[in-house]
Amino acid sequence: MYLKIFALIFFVSYFSQIQAQSEPEVVLTTGHTDVIQVMEISNNGKYMATAANNKVIKVWDVPTGREFRTISGNDGRINKMTFSPDNKHLAAVINHGSVKVWNVQTGEVVKELPADYNGNVCWINNGQKIVFKNANSELEIADVFGTEASKKVALDFGYTVDVYEPRMEAYSFDVKGNLLVFDLTTMTLKGEHKIFDFFNVPFSGPVISPDGKYISAGFNDDITRLINLETFKVDLESKKEEGKIQRIHFDKKGKYLYTYNHNWILRVWNYETKKLHQEWKIKDMSGVQSFVSHPIQDVLIEASSIYGRIRYRNVETGDYESEYTQKINKIVSMDYAQNGKYIAVASDQARIKIWNMKNNKVESELIAFFPVKFDTGGELLYAMAADMRIGIFDVHKNKRVGQLDCEMELIQTLAISDDGKYLAGAGFMGIIKIWDLETKKLIKKMTGHAGGIYGLAFSPDNSHIASAGYDQTLRVWDLKTGKELHQKKDQTISISAVKYSPDGKYLASASWDKTINLYETQNYTLVKTLQGHVNMITSIDFNSDGSLLVSAAGNNAVSEADNSMIVWSIPSGEKKCHFLDHSDQVSKVVFQKDKNRFISASNDGTIKISDADECKNVATLISYGYSDFALITPDNYYMASKEALKGISFRVDGELYPFDQFDLRLNRPDIVGERIGFTSPRLLNAYKYVYKKRLRKMGFTEEQLGKEFHLPKVRIENESDLPIATEEAEMLIKLKAWDEKFKLDRINVYVNDVPIYGTNGILLRDQNLGSILKDIKVPLIPGPNKISFSVLNDKGAESLSKTVSIMRKGDEKKSDLYIVAIGVSKYKDERFNLTYPSKDAADIINSLEGSIELFNEIHVKKLVDEEVIIENMEDISDFVKDAKPEDVVIIFVAGHGVLDADFNYYFGTYDMDFNNPIEKGMSYERLDRILDNIKSLRKLLIMDTCHSGEVDEEEVEEGGPDVDKVEGDVEFRSAGAGIRQKEGIGVENSVELMQDLFSDLRKGSGATVISSAGGAEYAMESSEWKNGLFTYCFLEGLKNGRADKNGDGKVLISELRQYVYDKVTQLSGGKQTPTARIENIMMDYRIK
C-alpha cells in the first residue's frame, strides 16, 4: 500500500509540473547514420555538438550521454562549429556559403548570413556578436541578437581566421607567408609579421591557445608549428608528419596541443614544455575524423570514420573510457505489403527488418539487402540475397523459400506486375530482366539503356513496362515482344523513378534535376512538369485513384538539403502538401491502397506514416538492434520495446529527463495503434485494458494525471566537474535541494534505478529545512551508472529528477555472487508436502556455481524444509551484509505460495498455519524489505510458487486450478483458499502485453523479481521434469547457454526471463505464465 501511495504522489507531481511548464517532447537517442566530420563542446561541458556528412547536427547532453536535439535542413555540410560563452547558442559555418546561429534549447535559427565556406566563426562581446570571414573575403563582425550594422575589413590574401577576445584581436595567415593581426575594435590591420619565406598556408587551423600566447596550424608542408604571439617566432616545430595534418586543436583546459594526420597518427604536444606528450597510432581501421577536448576533464572526445561512432579517450593513459555508436541504420529501400500486414525495411547493413503492422512491432530480420518488393498478396518478399540471386522470402515464416537467377548481377530496382505474374528487375548493366513468378524462370531481357537503370514500372494492364536511369532517358517497352515503343529525353540528369497512375492514364518520371514529368499514355506526350524540390528526387507513387502523387527528395552534396515529401494534385500539378519531417534523404515513398496515407523511409533511419488528406505526420517508426522498436506520434505518445525505452528521454524547458518521468502518461500503445490504423479492434481493446491495468497497479486514474502541484527542485552543483569515466568505486556529489513554499522531507538517490539509501531515502523531515546543500557519496559499479536524484517536500510532492551518467572502468569478474536458495518440500502440516522444492533449491545452487569464472567468489546459503522458518529467513540480511554494490545477489524460493483473504501473498514456511498465513508465513513485504537492505545494485528474487505474481483484485475470484485439464503426474503447488482469473477479464495475453509494452516504474528496492506464475495462477511440478516446471525451465535456460538469445556467449537476466516465459508457457499449455513482478530494466546483467 505504501508503494501505491508513493507512486501516486510521485507521478501526479511530475505531470502537474509539466502542465505548469511546456509539454514534454520525446527525444530518441539514435546516433548519426553518417560519418561525423565536425564536433564541438560547450564551455561548461554540458552540451556537445556533432555534425555528420549528411548535413545533420546532433546536440548531446554530455552528463547523461543522450541526444538533446537534432538540427537538420542545412544547405551543405558543416565545416566549423562553436558554442557561445553562455552555452546557449551554437554557431556554424555551412559548406554552401553561410554562417548560422541556433538557439540550442529551442533549435530555432537566430541568425543566418553569407560566409566563406572555408572560414571560421568565433564569438566576441560576451556572446553577443560573431566574427567570421564573409562571402567577399572580408573579416566581418555581426550583431547576432540586435540590429547593429556589421563591421568589415578586407582580409586581402588572408585564409581562415581565429580570434583571441581578451585582446580583441583576430589572426590569419596569408599566401605570402605572413601572419596578419587585426584590431577588432577599430577593424584595421594592426600588424603583419613574416613567418615564411616561401608559400606555406595552413592545411588545418589556425588555432589560438586558451591563454592567447600561441597560434598554431598544421601547415601545407606537413609540419606543425607553434608561434609565439609576443615575439612572432616559431617556438616549436615538429618533424615532417607522415601525411597531411588533418586536424589541430588546443586543449580547452590550456595545456595540450593535439594534431592528427592522414596516416592515422594522433599526437599530443605539451605546449608549455614544448615536448611531445603522447603519440597514438589508430589501429582499428576507423581513423579519426574529428576531435574535441573536454573543458574540465582530461578527456579527448573523438569521432571515427565508422558511422556515428564517438569515443572518449583518457589523455594521460591513452585508453578509451567509453564509446557511443549509432543505434539505427540508414534505410536504403522499403516496401509496404498492401494487405496491411507488413513493412519491409532494408538497411545499409545488409539486413531487412520486417515490421508487423497489425501488432505494431518489428517481428523478424532477414539476411538480405536492397531492393525489396512484396508480391501482390503481401506474404512473399523479393530481395537481393548474399549469393547474388533474388531471394524469395516467406515473411510470416521468416525463411527463404526460393530464388530467382539474376545472372550474378546486382539488381538495383524491382517492380511487380499488377496481376502478380511477373517480376522485373534491373541494375547497372542497363538490362531489364523479366521473371515468370510461377515458373521462377528468367523469360525476357530488354536492352537499350546506356548505363544503370534506376526505375521500373508495369502498366496497370500489364501490357507495358517503363524504365529510366543513368542515361537520362525514359523508355516504354512492349512486355510481350520486348520491343521499345517510346523514348523520352525531357529531363537533364539521371531519372531515378517511374510510376504509372492506377487507371493507366499517366506515367510520371522523377529526376535528379529536381523535376517530375507527367505524360499522358495515349501518345506519351508531356503534359506537365512539377517543380518544387531543391535536391534530387528519389521516389514517387500515386494514390489508389490517381488523384494524388507523392514525391520524395534527397540530400546529395551538390545541392542544399531537401529531405522532404511533396503531395501533388493530379493532373493540375498543384502542390497540396509539403512534409519536412525527415532529417536526411528520403529513399522511398509508398501510398497505402484505398487510403490517402503514405509510408516513407529515410537515411535518417526512420519510417514515417503521413496523411495526405490532412497534410500531417501520423507516426514515426524506428527499429533498434535485432528486434527492438519505438513508435512515436507527433504529440509525443509512444509505444516501445523495453530495450528501446532506454534510449527515450524527454526534453522540457531546456532540460533532459529519463523516460520513466513521463512514461505513465505518454506510453500509450492504445493511442499509437489507433492513430496508425492497422491494429485490430480486439488488440486495441487489449492495449487499452493493459494500460488501465497499469494505472491500477500504480494506484492511479487517468483523471489524476492533470492535477496541479507545487514541486521542490534539485540541482547537482558539481555536475560540470563529474568525470565521464573513472576507476573510482564511489563519487562525491554535491546536491542542492530546495522548496520555495514547503519544508523538505527526503532526498532519493538512485544508481541504475536502485535506491542506494533504501526506499525511504535520506530523511530530512526532522531538520525543518527549506533548502539544503549536501555532499552525497554514491557507489559506482563497473560499467555504466545512471545516477538520479530527486527530493520530496513535506506535502508529498516530488521534484523532477536530476540525472548524470558515469562510466566506471573495471573488470566485471571482480564481483562476488551471493546465492540464497530456499525450498520447502516437507511441511509441519504434512498434508501440504510437495516433491521437488528442496531439490529445486539444490539444483539452482549447482547450476549457478557453474558460473564461477564470472566471479571472484561465490557465497552460498541454503535453507530447506524444517530450516525454512521466519527467524532463519530474516537471517538472510546478515548473510548478504558484506555484499558490495557491484556484487550479484540472487534469492530463490520454492514451495507453496498462499494468499490471505485480502489477496496478500505469503511464502509458505515450514511451520506456517495455512489457515492463518500472517502468523508464521513470509509475506512479500518482508521479502522486499530484505531486498531493500541489500547494498548490491544487482539483486534478483526468483519465486517458484503459486500466486507469486501480482494480484489485481478486480481480475480474480475464488476458485482453483482446473485439475481435470492436466495430464500425467503434474501437481500444483497450491494450498489454502484458491483464486482464478475472472471470465471475460481483459484478454488472455494481457500479462504478456503488460510485460512487453510497459516498464515497471515502481523502483521499490531496485531488484528484479521474477515469479513462476501469475497472481491468479498455480505453479506446477512433475516427475517428468524432476523439478518445478519454472525451475526446470530456468535450469534449462542456463544449461549450455540456451537462453542466450543474441548468441554472444552470455546469458543476461532479460534473456533468461524471456526464455523461461516462453518455455513455461509452452510446456504448461498456457496454464502457467511466469511474470516479472517487479523489473528493473536498467540493471540487466550477466549470470552465465
Region 1006-1033: mean pLDDT is: 76
Give the rounded percent of residues in the chain with a pLDDT score beyond 90: 65
Q: Which residues contact 125 (CB under 8 A, 6 or more apart)?
A: none
Query: Strands 888-894 and 817-823, how do they pair?
Result: parallel
Higher pLDDT, 488 or 324: 488
Query: Strands 858-864 and 888-894, how do they pair?
Result: unpaired
Q: Based on C-alpha coordinates, what's the Rg of the chain? A: 33
Higher pLDDT, 1015 or 925: 925
Residue 568 pairs in a beta bridge with: 549, 575
Q: For residue 610, is pLDDT > 80?
A: yes
Cell readout for 753 is 534505478
CA separation for the pair 212, 536 (Å, rounded): 46
Closest CA to 309 of 103, 37, 634: 37
Query: Which pLDDT score, from 0 to 100, does residue 345 have?
Result: 97
Query: Which pLDDT score, from 0 to 100, does residue 1010 have?
Result: 87
Q: What 8-state DSSP symbol labels residue 1052?
A: B
Closest CA to 621 of 28, 24, 23: 28
User: Is 331-404 CATH 2.40.10.480?
Assistant: yes
Segment among 540-549, 839-848, 909-918, 957-966 with least mean pLDDT:
957-966
Q: How confident is the model at residue 541 (pLDDT cuts 50, 70, 90)?
A: very high
Q: With H, G, I as helix, E, B as strand and everything else as coil, classify residue 1000.
A: coil
Q: Whole-prediction pTM value? A: 0.80
Q: With H, G, I as helix, E, B as strand and everything else as coil, classify residue 837.
A: helix
Question: Residue 351, exposed/middle/buried by CB under 10 A (0-12, 13-18, 19+)?
Answer: middle
Query: Strands 648-652 and 655-658, how do they pair?
Result: antiparallel
DSSP letter for each residue of 230-256: TT--EEEEPPPPSS-EEEEEE-TTSSE
Q: For residue 1015, is pLDDT > 50?
A: no
Question: Residue 719, exposed/middle/buried by CB under 10 A (0-12, 13-18, 19+)?
Answer: middle
Region 909-933: mean pLDDT is: 91
Query: Which pLDDT score, from 0 to 100, does residue 128 have?
Result: 97
Query: Which pLDDT score, from 0 to 100, does residue 673 have?
Result: 96
Query: Which pLDDT score, from 0 to 100, does residue 625 have?
Result: 78
Query: Which pLDDT score, from 0 to 100, does residue 1030 have?
Result: 87
CB 975 within 8 A of CB 829: no
Query: Which pLDDT score, from 0 to 100, does residue 51 have?
Result: 96
Q: For residue 986, is pLDDT > 90?
A: no
The strands making up 1075-1078's β-sheet, listed across from edge to edge, are 858-864, 817-823, 888-894, 938-944, 1008-1011, 1075-1078
Q: What 8-state DSSP symbol labels residue 960?
A: -
- What is the CA 565 to chain-centroid distance, rounded? 24
Query: Strands 537-542 and 525-531, how do they pair?
Result: unpaired
Segment among 357-361, 635-639, 702-706, 960-964 with least mean pLDDT:
960-964
Q: How confident is the model at residue 12 (pLDDT cuts 50, 70, 90)?
A: very low
Query: Which pLDDT score, from 0 to 100, does residue 158 have?
Result: 65
CB 64 within 8 A of CB 803: yes
CB 133 within 8 A of CB 120: yes
Q: Tell me the backbone φ, ψ of residue 1014, rounded to 5 degrees.
A: -65, 165
Q: Mind listing the pLDDT tens digit for each residue in 470-482?
A: 999 999 999 999 9
Cell readout for 824 is 520447502
Query: Which pLDDT score, from 0 to 100, does residue 900 have?
Result: 81
Q: What is the CATH number of domain 490-621?
A: 2.130.10.10
Q: In the predicted model, what is the mean pLDDT of the chain? A: 88
Q: Enumerate the domain spans of the chain.
A: 1-30+625-680, 331-404, 490-621, 710-808, 814-1078
Region 950-969: mean pLDDT is: 46
CA separation for the pair 995, 944 (Å, rounded): 18
CA separation for the pair 165, 365 (Å, rounded): 55
Q: What is the CATH number of domain 814-1078?
A: 3.40.50.1460
Q: Mind listing the pLDDT tens digit for each residue in 765-812?
A: 899 999 999 999 999 998 889 999 999 888 877 888 899 999 888 765
Closest CA to 638 of 360, 363, 365: 360
The one-letter amino acid code at 1066 reads Q
Q: How confident is the model at residue 4 (pLDDT cuts 50, 70, 90)?
A: very low
Indicate the Cα dihedral angle 19, 23, 28, 33, nearest 10°.
-160
CA separation for the pair 923, 919 (Å, rounded): 10
Region 867-890: mean pLDDT is: 94
The one-letter amino acid code at 436 reads D
- Say how many C-beta atoms besides its own lie within 10 A of residue 1077's C-beta: 22
Cell readout for 559 is 545541392
Q: Mind listing the pLDDT tens digit for each residue in 334-383?
A: 999 999 999 999 998 889 999 999 999 999 999 999 999 999 999 999 99
| Residue 686: its H or E element | helix 681-697
Tell me the angle at which helices 681-697 and 669-676 cross, rounded to the nearest 10 degrees. Answer: 160
**Is it true that the peptide bond before 755 is cis, omega within 30 degrees of 0?**
no
Closest CA to 481 of 498, 465, 505: 465
What separation in angstroms does the CA of 1036 have from each of 823, 1030, 1050, 1055, 1056? 19, 10, 14, 13, 10
Cell readout for 1044 is 542466450
Cell readout for 757 is 539509501
Q: How confident is the model at residue 813 (pLDDT cuts 50, 70, 90)?
A: low
Q: Mind listing the pLDDT tens digit for each residue in 21-77?
A: 467 888 989 999 999 999 999 999 999 999 999 999 999 999 888 999 999 988 899
Q: For residue 974, is pLDDT > 60?
A: no
| Residue 4: its H or E element | helix 2-20
Q: What is the CATH number of domain 710-808?
A: 2.60.40.10
| Residue 268: its H or E element | strand 265-270
Q: How confident is the model at residue 975 (pLDDT cuts 50, 70, 90)?
A: low
Residue that is written with C-alpha cell 528520403 in the block? 586
Q: For residue 961, is pLDDT > 80?
A: no
Q: Mind listing the pLDDT tens digit for each residue in 200-225?
A: 999 999 999 999 999 999 999 999 99
Q: How confident is the model at residue 990 (pLDDT cuts 50, 70, 90)?
A: low
Region 487-515: mean pLDDT is: 97
Question: Which stretch, 641-645, 698-702, 858-862, has highest mean pLDDT?
Answer: 858-862
Q: Do domains 331-404 and 710-808 have the same CATH topology?
A: no
The strands making up 361-366's β-sheet, listed across from edge to edge, are 331-336, 342-347, 352-356, 361-366
